[in-house]
Structure 1
């Protein structure tokens, strides 16, 4: 993976995270309607989750490895827990989740490759 592909993988991870956030808020609006804000206030863990995802999106703009790992884990852990508990999601949800998971994983790989390539470039251009 070269530097341009690493940057593109990070940008695709940002797009996937934004799509995930919009989908979650859309589903929340569909289920709770006008009471969405009061529902978020009564369930602070959901609001904290949204804030963490927004912070990770901001971190991806700065190509943060920690943000990409947190976003990946924040997405995969609830999915794995649902499957382990026997609550198998629908086929469409599973397909959408796998697509987002692919983009989050490539964002993790992209951030690590980006920093590795930047370090190599900096060391190569360092005067002796």
Structure 2
């Protein structure tokens, strides 16, 4: 990720995604502080993002959208126990990012095939590329 805007969008989407829980705990906020630090986002900027004053921006390049969706799923699983509400929120993010329902379902259904329910980046990209390659052939 090269620009401040891209980094801010990622963190904003991760926070918005985690807020699907009834209440965020200290682990959640510590995680966001660590991510912000890694992305070189100040604590003041994190606070603004956390309060929801940052609006989302949609990515246009497919690989960026797929990578971003993967990051959101990684954020969802920081407590290792995604709720039904978390899973529905993840699906809705995928739909809003423009992914086909079948591709999203393949991702969700195969989560249990990986340690800690986390797809490897290669496997994640393969699911989407296989689906879209097959769709174009039809």
Larger RCO, structure (CA 8 Å, separation 6 or more)? 1
Q: Which has the larger radius of gyration?
A: 1
- Fold similarity call, TM over 0.5: no
TM range (shorter): 0.3 to 0.5
TM-score (norm 1): 0.32
